[in-house]
Amino acid sequence: MKSYTRYLWFNTKKKREFINITDDLAQAVAKSQIREGLALASAMHITAGVYINDAEDGLIADIEEWLEHLAPFRPDYRHHATGETNGDAHLKNLLIGHQVLVPVTQGKLDLGPWQQVYYAEFDGQRRKRVLIKVIGE
């Protein structure tokens, strides 16, 4: 079995952003020369996530609204007693999840017709990264 590792670095302009990383993942698969296996994309921060869904602006706005409804920014999170102000970002990470696993078939990402891979930043404006790991034969 072979493996390939790549890191994506982000320093978002806004506190919350949704960045399509599908092409980055596909490039890592191509560079790995793995024909059959799995590609992992994992946010390496507890205030960000990675998910798979449609690349449609209305849906992305709906996802952001849904997350804010379920885990709104508020000043009274116990986590804020540590001096941080990102308790909601930690909860949003739990809702979205921090990683996805995509099959690799015949050297390509084996995604459905509308599926795209997104990095979701919930506490941005500082340097963060995503790990891409491709394993297989």
State how far the alpha carbon of 17 is from the alpha carbons of 40, 64, 66, 71, 124, in Å: 21, 9, 14, 16, 8
Write down the pLDDT at residue 93: 98
Write down the pLDDT at residue 64: 97
Q: What are phi and psi of 59, to 5 degrees?
A: -65, -40
Write down the pLDDT at residue 18: 98
Residues 6+ apart with CB under 8 A from 134: 3, 4, 5, 28, 29, 32, 34, 37, 38, 39, 40, 104
Q: What's the pLDDT tens digit per position in 60-98?
A: 999 999 999 999 999 999 999 999 999 999 999 999 999
Residue ranges of the chain with pLDDT lower than 70? none
Domains of the chain are 2-136 (2.60.120.460)
Global pTM value: 0.96
